[in-house]
Amino acid sequence: MGVVPTVAPGRGPRRPLSSSLAVFAGLGVLLTVGLTSMLIAGARGTDPAVGSLSGAGAPVEAPVAAVPQVSHAVTYELTGGAGALNVTYVAQGSDIAQVLDAGTPWSVSLTRTGPRGGEQYFSLSAQNAGGGTLICRITVDGVVVSERSVSTPQGMVRCSKSLP
């Protein structure tokens, strides 16, 4: 019988196929990037100013028309009861305002401005500080738009209205 010679493991010569494969992969990436760049440049057209950082030749936007505004004179009121706690109302610019402890009668008047045709929300809420009936009222442009009351001690009263 014959003896099979053993070959010691180790690094043999590099196979040419693996280095050729790396070169072809690199060329493929370069080709893809180049073709993509040419397609994008062709889609931009011949105007070099489009897309420039200086903005020269950029399309001119039409000015935005100012939205007409409407203003309302608003009065929030609390009457009756033995005072009010946690008085919360929608103030100017739709901000929320709060007064922790208010004697009655209590009121605040302000002007609310918003876009013409858009709705504005008006709200007043308070907690009855003790006995008696606590009444809330919202007046907009001289007209009472909401009025409510609560007689329960520590009870909550809330007036609200949305107007165009």
Domains of the chain (ranges; CATH) run 69-163 (2.60.40)
Assign 3-class secondary structure to the chain.
CCCCCCCCCCCCCCCHHHHHHHHHHHHHHHHHHHHHHHHHHHHHCCCCCCCCCCCCCCCCCCCCCCCCEEEEEEEEEEEECCCEEEEEEECHHHCEEEEEEECCCEEEEEEEEEECCCCEEEEEEEEECCCCCEEEEEEECCEEEEEEEECCCCCEEEEEEEEC
* pTM of the predicted model as reported, rounded to 2 decimal places: 0.60
What would the pLDDT profile of 35-92 be if each residue is shown by its tens digit? 566 666 665 555 554 444 555 555 667 677 788 999 999 999 999 989 999 999 999 8
What would the pLDDT profile of 130-161 be if each residue is shown by its tens digit? 889 999 999 999 999 999 999 999 999 999 99
